[in-house]
Amino acid sequence: MPLKLHRKLARYLGYDLQKFNKQVQLETHLRMLLPLLDIDLVIDVGANEGQFARMLRQELGYDGTIHSFEPLPDAFELLKSAAASDGEWFVHNFALGDRESEVEFNVATHSVFSSFHGVNKRGNVKFRKGIEVLNSISVPVRRLDAVFEELVPDIRSRRAFLKMDTQGHDKWVFEGAGDLVDALLGLQSELSVLGIYEGVPDYVEMLDLYRSHGFELSGIYAVNRYRGTGHIIELDCVFATLPPGMPATR
C-alpha cells in the first residue's frame, strides 16, 4: 500500500503516521520529558546556527528561557539572527569548558563538525571533505558555573536542562558546571562510540560520569552509523535525575 494511503488510513483511525527516524524519536521524547520535569530554562551549548533552540520553539512549543552558546563567528551571526525577535532566547559568542581561557578552535568545512579536538582516521574516512579543517581560530572559553552567576543569578531556583552538542567536548563543559550540576534536572549529551575526534572519552566513561552525578538514562538515539556495517558512531543520550524516593540503580 502506498505511504499516502497508509497515512490516510491512520488519520481515519485517529493516528498520525510519521517516518521512523532518530530525529523524530528524540523530539518526541523531549516533548514528553521537558514538561514532565517542568523545565523553564534550557542551556544550549554548541548551538551552531540555532537548530536545537528552533526545534524547541517550533516543534515542541517550549516557551521558557533559552541561553545558547556558540564560539564560531559565522555560525554565531546566524544564531543571533534566529534569536533576534525572541525575548526569551539569549545568545553568547564564546565556548564553555572546564577553565577560563583562550583556546584554538578547529573550523571545519561544514560548521557542525568544528571542534576543539582533532579529527581521527575514522572521521576523515566517514565524512571526508565535510570534516576537513580549514583553519583554526582562538576563542574565549568560560566555565558554566561562572557564566550563570552573571547571567541567571537565581539559577538554583530554576528548573534547568543542559543540552550539549560540542563535537567531543561535552565532558569538559559538564566539569565546568562545578556544583551547578546539582541545579540541573536533566541533560542531553552526544556520546562517542566509534568516534571521529582525537582524545575524546567514549560513551562508557561518559555514562559513568553522568550517573555519578545522579543522572540516569531517559532516552538513547543513534546520531550516525557506518553505512556498510551499521556500527554506531555517536549517540544522543538524554538523562534525568531520579524523583525523590526512587532508589538509584546501584
Q: Per residue in 59-85, pLDDT tens?
A: 999 999 999 999 999 999 999 999 999
Cα 220 from Cα 233, distance rounded (Å): 13
Question: In this predicted structure, what is the pLDDT of residue 183?
Answer: 93
Q: Does residue 121 have a pLDDT over 90?
A: no
- Average pLDDT on 26-44 reads 97
Q: Does residue 11 have a pLDDT over 70?
A: no
Q: Does residue 5 have a pLDDT over 60?
A: no
What mean pLDDT, rounded, does the chain reach?
A: 89
Q: Does residue 228 have a pLDDT over 90?
A: no
Under DSSP, is residue 11 helix (H, G, I), strand (E, B) or coil?
helix
Q: Report which DSSP code applies to 39.
A: -
In b/e form, how buried is each residue of 226-249, taking b as 16+ CB within 10 angstroms? eeeeeebbbbbbbbbbeeeeeeee
- Which of 151, 114, 158 lies closest to 133, judged by CA? 114
- Average pLDDT on 108-112 reads 88
Contact predicate 199/211, CB 8 Å: no
Q: Does residue 130 have a pLDDT over 50?
A: yes
Burial class (CB in 10 A: 0-12, 13-18, 19+), 220: middle
How do the domains of the chain map onto residue ranges? 39-101+140-241
Sign of torsion over alpha carbons 126, 236, 113, 81: positive
- Average pLDDT on 201-220 reads 96
- Which of 90, 12, 45, 72 lies closest to 184, judged by CA? 45
Contact predicate 46/167, CB 8 Å: yes
Question: In this predicted structure, what is the pLDDT of residue 53?
Answer: 98
Q: Which CATH number fits domain 39-101+140-241: 3.40.50.80, 3.30.1240.10, 4.10.80.400, 3.40.50.150?
A: 3.40.50.150
Under DSSP, is residue 125 helix (H, G, I), strand (E, B) or coil?
helix
- Average pLDDT on 178-201 reads 94
Q: What is the CA radius of gyration of the chain?
A: 19
